[in-house]
Amino acid sequence: MSKSYHHFINGQVVQGKSGRHSDIFNPSLGEVSGNVALASTEELNSAVAAAKAALPEWSGMNPQRRARVLFNFKSLVEANADELALILSEEHGKVLADSHGDIQRGLDVIEFACGIPHLVKGEYTQGAGPGIDVYSMRQPIGVAAGITPFNFPAMIPMWMFGVAIATGCTFILKPSEKDPGVPLRLAELMMEAGAPAGVLNVVNGDKEAVDAIINHEDIRAVSFVGSSDIAHYVYQGCAAQGKRVQAMGGAKNHGIILPDADMAQAVQDITGAAYGSAGERCMALSTVVAVGDRTGDRFIEAMSAELGKLNVGISTDPSADYGPVVTAAHKQRIKDYIQMGVDEGAELVVDGRDFALQGYENGFYVGPTLFDRVKPTMRSYQDEIFGPVLQVLREDTFEGALELPSKHQYGNGVAIFTRSGGAAREFAQRVNVGMVGINVPIPVPVAYHSFGGWKRSAFGDANQHGMEGVRFYTQTKTVTQRWPDGETQGAGFNIPVME
């Protein structure tokens, strides 16, 4: 059954009026399953107007009441999790278990945001000067916007709007046009939870909507997750407009295997981290650095055997380890990178390009692919492939292995596998990457810490969620007060000194 998606503005579904649409696919079948309206600048402007109108009531509401709305929202998402996961899997292609994980990781941030009464408490100093007290308060920055990617259509929107709404901001969400079903459903559930109309709006669109967000003077803060080139574009555009901006980009996450690592456990961990969700994760562990040729030989032998056990299937198959990639164009892009690796001289150990699922030959499937003896000079190593492709490099020393992720253009995540506490501690301290795992293959922080990479993986100086998120969506106001005691004092012409 074909679906038609539009926008959610001021508490209701609003039909798209631009006349432009984009196809939505079911990646498992390789067929068009619906379409989504692409917003004009005028439609984006109407969503901003709704958010601006809702701001005084919502920001003026005490934080306990905002927290209650988020508690209700959390309960509603949990009650509708099966429906949401099915929509997500059918539009994205990830298997149902992974879709449930996508939703749960978003809910973790909603749970954190439910503690907003504590999180926005200010500071107070009594007697900072003679009869003078000083206190600070955190106030919402205003109307905020989020631009989210296709690979986590539940988690990343909740990362953004959960904290923003909790702090008292109102929000415009521009999700990926590839899988808009879940973001729209989340907006409906937020209304059902008790949020006033206009607090959360969803506008589907492409570059026109992105540019309208960047240029709208009433949008005070913008959060983005996507490719590095677009992240840089959004960052530059927002900064030029004087907006607060956090823009998360691409990744090339390394897994360093030292000779003393538990190889069986490392292989199990890396299999899931490299091939889960068909590698379409910004935290996918897509590159292994084996320290020593013996370590590399052991890893390749064990991983080659493991890949023979992987079950690639349709997104609703409960026995599938991973499903298709999101579009036919992305499938071709991955295959082109595999060929690039071959042309550059890397050793193709397992080739997934010709994988076809019986009965679903039109689906966007890529089989698990493994390269060995990749070199740092190869473009296939330098770029983010974003598919079920694992590349193995070999280094003779710890220092050489440390240097690879430290010098790479991306600095999102890295992991080290070792039994040596000293080596792990030194690696974590010295590596030039934003998130580090020690015997943890996907080091995504828990919701009350914050998520963010370094270098071309992130533009701006604020991370997602945690207290970084609270600070991003709020601004500090400091009040210095003195109450007159009836005695008039003379004018002071110097800078006040609190003595």
Q: How much is the pLDDT for 37?
A: 97
- 333 and 238 co-located in one domain: no
- 276 and 143 co-located in one domain: no
- 225 and 238 co-located in one domain: yes
For the chain, the domain total comes to 2
Token digits for 338? Answer: 């595999």
**Residue 305 belongs to some domain of the structure:** yes
Q: CA-to-CA distance for 475 and 61, rounded, in angstroms? A: 17
- 67 and 39 co-located in one domain: yes
Q: CA-to-CA distance for 72 and 279, rounded, in angstroms? A: 33
- 61 and 103 co-located in one domain: yes
Q: How much is the pLDDT for 498?
A: 67
**Residue 488 belongs to some domain of the structure:** no
Helix (H, G, I), strand (E, B) or coil at 63: helix
- 245 and 258 co-located in one domain: no
- 305 and 433 co-located in one domain: yes
Residue numbers of the domain that contains 320: 253-438
Phi, psi of 63 (to 5 degrees): -65, -25
**Residue 447 belongs to some domain of the structure:** no
Q: What is the pLDDT of residues 213-241, one digit of tens each?
A: 999 999 999 999 999 999 999 999 999 99
Q: What is the pLDDT of residues 188-203, one digit of tens each?
A: 999 999 999 999 999 9
DSSP classification of residue 279: G
CATH number reported for the structural domain that contains residue 45 in this entry: 3.40.605.10
Mean pLDDT of the chain: 96
- Within 10 angstroms of residue 32's Cβ, the number of other Cβ atoms is 11
Q: How much is the pLDDT for 499?
A: 64
- 59 and 204 co-located in one domain: yes
Q: What is the pLDDT of residues 236-264, one digit of tens each?
A: 999 999 999 999 999 999 999 999 999 99
Token digits for 341? Answer: 């690796």
Element (H, E) at 129: strand 124-129
**Residue 487 belongs to some domain of the structure:** no
Q: HSE (CB half, 13 Å, CA atoms) of 12?
A: 3
Of 114, 169, 238, 282, the catalytic one is 282
**Residue 492 belongs to some domain of the structure:** no
Burial class (CB in 10 A: 0-12, 13-18, 19+), 478: exposed
114 counts as catalytic:
no
Q: CA-to-CA distance for 235 and 71, rounded, in angstroms? A: 32
- 271 and 408 co-located in one domain: yes
Q: CA-to-CA distance for 264 and 252, rounded, in angstroms? A: 23
Element (H, E) at 200: strand 200-202
**Residue 383 belongs to some domain of the structure:** yes
- 106 and 10 co-located in one domain: yes
CATH number reported for the structural domain that contains residue 315 in this entry: 3.40.309.10
Q: What angle do CA 33, 34, 37 make, to 5 degrees?
A: 155
124-129 and 132-140 strand pairing: antiparallel
**Residue 88 belongs to some domain of the structure:** yes
- 241 and 264 co-located in one domain: no
**Residue 489 belongs to some domain of the structure:** no
Residue 494 has pLDDT above 90, yes or no: no
- 462 and 338 co-located in one domain: no
